[in-house]
Chain A
Amino acid sequence: MLMAHWLFLIPLAPLVAAVVNFIFGRWFLRSVASWIGIIAVAISFTLSVITFMQIRSDGNVLTQHLYTWIPAGRFSVPVTLQVDQLVAIMLLVVTGVSLLVHIYSVGYMHGDPGYYRFFAYLPLFVFSMLMLILANNYLLLFVFWEGVGLCSYLLIGFWYRRTSAAQAAKKAFIVNRIGDLGFTIAIMLIFINFGTLEYTGVFASLGSTGHQTLTIIALLLFTGAIGKSAQIPLFVWLPDAMEGPTPVSALIHAATMVTAGVFMVARSYPIFEASASAMEVVAVVGATTAVVAATIGITQHDIKKVIAYSTVSQLGYMVFALGVGAWVPAIFHLFTHAFFKGLLFLGAGSVIHGMHDEQDMRRMGNLKKYMPVTYWTFLLGSLANAGLFPFAGFWSKDEAIGAAWAQGHPYVALAGLVGAFCTALYMMRVVFLTFWGTERFDPTKVHPHDPPWSMKAPLILLAIPSVLAGLLVGWPPDKGWIHRFLEPVFAQGKAPAELATSTTWIFAIISTLIVASGIGIAYFAYVRGVISPNAWVQRLGPAYRLAYGKWYFDEAYEKFVVHPLYLTSIFLWRVVDVEIIDGTVNGVATAVSYTSERWRRAQTGLVSNYALAIGLGTVVIIGAYLVFGSSLFQ
């Protein structure tokens, strides 16, 4: 079945849904708007599955050229859709998780006055993300990179009347933009050096470019990824993005948009492989992010914030995997993470929904009695996130850590292990604080309950791959189905160093021990009460404050970036705009007015004066002629 002809339908369906809902949603469609969105994404998902199967069977890259956007002589930027194995997997992830989130949102957003608007923005996001993945050149990717950023802004600030939500939306967009500056310059450099922006063209002509240029391009591309995928130092927007509705967090800030950075770097792997120093930077940034975010996650009280920092941390894993050249493990972790992180966010949403918008875990407890489905799915997701054998997260995370070790980055591997410990600890802390223990809320005022089926079904459907996906696609380690499937995509690169089987086993055992100890400590602290969290807070004093205060990134930015900019703006306003520019313009007007006031006095109204003026003028003109124009006075 010739899927190449129908590729355009994959992004088109959600676009149509978005437009229809946006135009007609408020007056005509209202609650039907959700169905339009769901059907559209279902179409995309079905077509993605068909595309995937076709790629799996013959391995040929599918292309569909739609339109030449910029025809400029020998340079052109086409709107062409391209599907290889990497894109096929991303398509499945994006459309699959989007579909489940759409279904979930029917229940979650029920009764919200902006219901139709939500189902206009959400498919719009899906459209942008799909086009981002399907693009065959950097400029098209960048257009939809901005597109997903826009949708993120719209959806984070969905409840726009809430000031904190509006601020968070602005913060997300602006911080992203900083990374985008690097990305834009990288695209310009690519154009200058390679003359084309299409992936195939760029990667073919890498040999003719200097090593330094390639390093700069790689680093600038990576800054774009730092912004979009919330790495240090541009991760500060993601925790604030929790202001948006929880389905948004699940889709955009866990499974899809934040992975666009990882996708883009993986897509550009030939450029990165040409520069060892750039890869080094990527690995260090990823590893640092993985650890720092994990430490913050241990201290937070808001359930969504913990999961948000977990996302930042897991993105760090994906990024450091990219940085050590472990391209397939990075994508593998992206794949598994989409499922369990999406599950965790939707589960958190279910908790919040059942607790009537309570998000602070200090006011929860023993919810497994009231919300069993939510509890079990959340537990499975947490164990997957923590990386416990045999859940999905174990396989992908372990491969990333093992690859770091094999490629000669022991500190990165160590960071991965430290992060794994923290991850296990904070995830089980969430589980125990929320679902176990004593009820720290008033049962007469709050009636927690499991959500309706529209919300339960996606939880269950996401729990299944969270448990099984790692095993199914990743076994045996480094030689599993996913490795063989993605091999042609990364064929141009260096073959990653092989880990001896014994080393793989050792790492598996070490990480399982670490995860078990994390779970154990959480159990003894929050269930048995043997370890006292408060005592440790005292003992760790400054370290705790650092982690709880989010390593003070926001405060540092406020002091060194935002405030000086603010003062500069005030200066530009009060001095440059009001005094200088307005002063000049008004000054000209005043000068003209003053001068004309003086000249007015020549209009006396007396005919004699006018006659005198005529006479004098004639004398002057004739005199001037006689002196300068004739030979009389030469």
Chain B
Amino acid sequence: MSQLTPDHFLFLSAALFIIGLMGVLTRRNVLVIFMCIELMLNAVNVSFIGFAWEQNSMVGQAFALFVIAIAAAESVVGLGIIMALSRRRDTVDINAVRDLRE
């Protein structure tokens, strides 16, 4: 097995980020978009850990913990909005809400 390098972390982080980004841009189900956002956040976490390992610093790991906490808080708020929206419109299709159309 080849050595584990920080590059591996970065590749993983990039791949996860792109997948998450594509999901946010493409999917129609609101909950799936949300999961993709979480995916992007976790991708960033991975890259933080990789840099922390490379620089032998605790800053990266501490920051990753912050990100997790914030992601959690943001999920709560976001799910709250989704619930309110789905109760009113009876749908979780993001393209159904186009009230701000010109």
Contact = CB atoms under 8 A, between A and B. Distances in A.
B21 A605 contact: no
Interface string B58-102: 000000000000000000000000000000000000110111111
B71 to A, nearest CB: 18
Interface string A600-613: 11011111100110
With most chain B CB atoms within 10 A of its CB, the pick from A601, A606, A607, A615 is A607
Interface string B1-33: 000000000000000000001001110100000
Interface residues of B, number: 13
A605 B24 contact: no
Contacts of A604: 98, 101-102
Contacts of B101: 603-606
A266 B46 CA distance: 105
B94 A605 contact: no
Contacts of B21: 615
Contacts of A603: 100-102
Q: How large is the interface on A (under 10, 10 to 19, 20 to 34, 35 or more residues)?
A: 10 to 19
Contacts of A607: 94-95, 97
A606 B97 CA distance: 7
Interface string A605-627: 11110011001000000000000
B100 A611 contact: no
Nearest to B94: A607
B89 to A, nearest CB: 13
A611 B101 CA distance: 15
Contacts of A611: 24-25
Given A608-B25, A611-B25, A615-B21, A600 B102 contact: yes
A27 B42 CA distance: 92
A600 to B, nearest CB: 4
A608 B100 contact: no
A213 B101 CA distance: 76
Contact of A605 (B25, B28, B98): B98
A224 B98 CA distance: 76
A612 B94 contact: no
B25 A606 contact: no
Nearest to B100: A605
A605 B26 contact: no
Contacts of B102: 600-601, 603-605
A596 to B, nearest CB: 10
B96 to A, nearest CB: 10
Contact of A606 (B24, B26, B95): B95
Contacts of B25: 608, 611-612, 615
A611 to B, nearest CB: 6
A615 B97 CA distance: 20
Nearest to B37: A611
Contacts of A605: 97-102
A615 to B, nearest CB: 6
A615 B24 CA distance: 10
A615 B17 CA distance: 12
Interface string A247-259: 0000000000000
A281 B25 CA distance: 92
A326 to B, nearest CB: 87
A603 B98 CA distance: 10
Nearest to A604: B101
A603 B25 CA distance: 17
A608 B98 contact: no
Contacts of B94: 606-608
Contacts of A608: 25-26, 28, 94-95
Nearest to A619: B21
Nearest to B21: A615
Contacts of B98: 604-606
Nearest to B27: A608
Interface string A142-155: 00000000000000
Contacts of A612: 25
B63 to A, nearest CB: 20
A608 B99 CA distance: 14
Interface of B: 21, 24-26, 28, 94-95, 97-102
17 contacts: A600-B102, A601-B102, A603-B100, A603-B101, A603-B102, A604-B98, A604-B101, A605-B97, A605-B98, A605-B102, A606-B95, A606-B98, A607-B94, A607-B97, A608-B26, A608-B94, A608-B95
Given A606-B101, A607-B94, 9 more contacts: A600-B102, A603-B102, A604-B98, A604-B101, A605-B97, A606-B98, A608-B25, A608-B28, A608-B94
Instruction: Give the 3 A-B residue pairs with the shortest CB-CB distance, closest first.
Output: A605-B101, A605-B98, A603-B102
